[in-house]
Amino acid sequence: MAKINLLIGIHNHQSVGNFEGVFKEAFEKCYLPFIQILEKHPKIRLTLHYTGPLWEWVEWNAPDFFERINALVSKNQIELLTGGFYEPILPMIPETDAIGQIRLHTRFIKERFGYNPTGLWLAERVWDPSLPKILSASDIKYTILDESHFTYAGLKHKDIYGYYITERENFTTAIFPIDKTLRYYIPFKLPEDTIEYLKKTAEENGEIGITYADDGEKFGVWPGTYKWVFEEGWLERFFNALDENSDWINLMTFSEFLDKYPPTGRVYLPTASYEEMMEWALPAEAIEEYEKTIEELKAAGRLEEYKPFIRGGFWDNFLAKYPEANNMHKKMLYASRKVNSAFKVNDIKGEAAKKELYRGQCNCAYWHGLFGGLYLNYLRHAVYKHLILSENAADEKRHQEKEIYLEAETIDYNSDGFKEILISNPYINTYLSPNYGGGIIEIDFKPKAFNISNLLARRKEGYHYKLKIAKNNEGSAAEPVSIHHIIKSKEEGLEGLLYYDWYNRYSFLDHFIDSSATPESFARCNYKELGDFVNQPYGIEEFSFLKDKSDGYIILKKDGAIYTEKGAVPVTIRKRFSFNGNSGMINAGYSLINRGIIPIESFFGIEFNLTLLAGNDESRYYVLQGREDKKRQMSVSGDFNDINRISLVDEWSKIRVELSYSASSGLWVHPVETISQSEEGFERTYQGTSFLPLWKLNLKPKEEWEINIKLNIK
């Protein structure tokens, strides 16, 4: 009988910022029982990867698990993979951080298990042709990628065996291709089906190496898999089947195969990831067209023929698809520059700062596909928290522990071709975008490492049309359906909540609103905007920040218009933002001038989009006019009159945000809630709350209207 070498790799990961209960449940339902069954089958040999956040949780909460892993390593039953410790997308972070993350992970494994890993798990299998240089600098000999990467390079399924060599500037790396059929068979098909597939492959190709590598969460965490894999014994039966067929199925680790067999060939792979990721990275409209094309080719029986030439986007496009992901990514790059500049020589504080930076590079919150990712506000919050903590350490080092300082710079912070203004003191970071409505895109309260402006706008997604057909279809008890094919909704009527924003959810955005608008139509973004200010460019009229001065200000100006039935009326808005180094206060002075020849009759509103993370939590609420006896949770909508003071209170984080202004207004409040998909189905997610103070304007020609606003965080 023909023999075959089977290489099995299991990748286990939980994100930075995930809930304690998620870690615990995944450990108890997946990671621990998998090892317990593996211990009963000493002939089963495979390769395991655990990410840094998971290692850290286990070390604190289940240290005995380390002894189990150590015993398996000592018996040469398992091989451990390194990687970026906090699971970053390596091509998307600075090279020095990528090497630092890999070395941190390698050192962790050496210290705990006395093992020197030479293979690397590449987060989300996001490949870039520049990676061989980074991997070589980190003493990595091999990594593992999907069959799709090789397909895009023109290879066929029959070529997906053994390993290939690639290089950049003579820095070489071995790459093992993952067999796509095995990826979809294990653990969703019966063990006999997998054995039959391996037998057929061995008969057709002889003694080759065939790779299965995928997420460990498929073995107990994905919907329906715990019952299937453990309660109904799939894993036990699979290992038994491998034991029973060990005369022709030889289980090897990747490094053993690398030492014993020559490469299958040389390959140069394009920038790519696994198929689903590349689809998710496309714009929403393109996803629908892509899926339609795939279905048409399937129906015509031509998909495999055209597969090398049909692909989705690539990971970087998430930064174009979601401005919030781009802002977070650029925050990470900015923090990296500050940390690596401040701590040129490693010391204890420098190592701690870099760890916080590395935690803020965990990939999960930067993108969205099947998993919640970017849509989960607590994951984004964790990224910002750790980036702010790393920045705080760098600022403390740079300012030599000064109690008071104020600094400002104008740079193209988010790489959009326009300059932003970044203001920082010991209490807050404030990032202004003159080009985008003269609004504030980020407000960090540094003592609590909390970004109170961390909202995600409501956008059309390529899967929203599926809400109409959403139903529970998790599959029969016999075989669970792959998570990629489950369509269900966690709540009835979500299709009726699909509202889309036409602007980003920043603060200090200026609206001229038609009198026909209502709080409900404004909340749905289905109202008539009369002005051209919300997302349009303002100019910088004055910029006054002097070195060693604790006070500074910026004046932004826009000559725009209000478009009425009588024609366009020219309007000038000036807003003066002032700061000092001794508080978390933002002072904004507004001036509106009617430059036309006819009166202006309109509602003028200044929108604030703020978050305390939870919409329905009694410890997070807002209060109007100081009425502490009337606390409203952050998801509570409202239409109020005679308001000039709004207080947002987070008792959990001990943060209070005070928003006050010099003339009483009407006030529209509504939660910003998105509809997205996750591994558990379509769900509604609270992103933050929109507050719109609204004034009725009656401005005669050449008349000026003024308002003063204070936003204070303490």
Catalytic residues: 124, 215
Rounded to whole angstroms, how far apart are CA atoms 179 and 195?
14
β-bridge mates for residue 509, sequence order: 607
3-state secondary structure at position 268: coil
Read off the tokens for 163. Answer: 């390993």
The enclosing H or E element of 589 equals strand 585-594
Q: Of 370, 312, 367, whose CA–CA distance to 487 is shortest?
A: 370
Q: How far is CA 186 from CA 8, 39, 68, 144, 217, in A?
A: 11, 20, 24, 17, 12
Rounded to whole angstroms, how far apart are CA atoms 543 and 408?
9
Rounded to whole angstroms, how far apart are CA atoms 646 and 237?
61
- The Cβ-side half-sphere exposure at 615, using a 13 Å CA radius, reads 19
What 294-303 contacts at long range (C-beta under 8 Å, 24+ apart), as own/partner pairs, is none
DSSP codes, 5-19: EEEEEEEE---TT--
Q: Residue 684, exposed/middle/buried by CB under 10 A (0-12, 13-18, 19+)?
A: middle
Q: Of 665, 644, 640, whose CA–CA distance to 710 is shortest?
A: 644
Q: Of 173, 176, 136, whose CA–CA distance to 160 is shortest?
A: 176
Q: Are strands 265-266 and 209-215 parallel, antiparallel or unpaired?
A: unpaired
In this structure, are residues 251 and 8 in contact, taking their beta carbons and an 8 Å threshold?
A: yes
Q: How far is CA 208 from CA 6, 173, 262, 565, in A?
A: 8, 20, 11, 76
β-bridge mates for residue 423, sequence order: 408, 430
Q: How far is CA 525 from CA 28, 164, 459, 494, 534, in A?
A: 44, 52, 11, 17, 13
Instruction: Report the b/e string of 218-248 with b at 16+ CB within 10 A.
Output: bbbbbbbbbebbbeeebbeebbebbeeeeee
DSSP codes, 124-166: GG-B-TTHHHHHHHTT--EEEEEHHHHHHTT--GGG-SS-EEE
In this structure, are residues 68 and 39 in contact, taking their beta carbons and an 8 Å threshold?
A: yes
Instruction: Report the b/e string of 257-273 with b at 16+ CB within 10 A.
Output: bbeeeeebeebebebbb
Q: Residue 547, exposed/middle/buried by CB under 10 A (0-12, 13-18, 19+)?
A: exposed
Q: Of 712, 526, 512, 530, whose CA–CA distance to 607 is shortest?
A: 512
Rounded to whole angstroms, how far apart are CA atoms 668 and 681?
31
